[in-house]
Amino acid sequence: MALYINDDCTACDACKPMCPNEAIEVGSPIYIIDPAKCTECVGAFDDPQCVDVCPADCILVDPKHTETREQLQAKYERLHG
């Protein structure tokens, strides 16, 4: 699954530099995660780095973008091929 940022986002910028896939973009008024680039850090880290650093706890699993760990790994490999 990809992740998404809910309305509790404070646009603090803690998450954006942590993303190995550059999936997080500055939105208005909150940041957004591109599901085509989000791998929940599979392929790079054991845990989603954005979730680990988010002080607002506003980054959640996006049920609209269901993917297996294998699919996330394949996406990571395509992005970094």
**pLDDT tens digits, 15-49:** 999 999 999 999 999 999 999 999 999 999 999 99
Whether the pTM exceeds 0.75: the reply is: yes
Band (pLDDT 50/70/90 cuts) for residue 1 is confident
3-state helix, strand, coil in the chain (%, to 5): 25, 10, 65
Q: What is the CATH number of the domain that holds 12?
A: 3.30.70.20
Residues ≥6 apart with Cβ < 8 Å to 64: 4, 35
Which domain range does residue 24 map to? 3-80
Total number of domains constituting the chain: 1
Amino acid at 40: E
Reported as a single tens digit per residue, the pLDDT across 47-78 is: 999 999 999 999 999 999 999 999 999 999 99
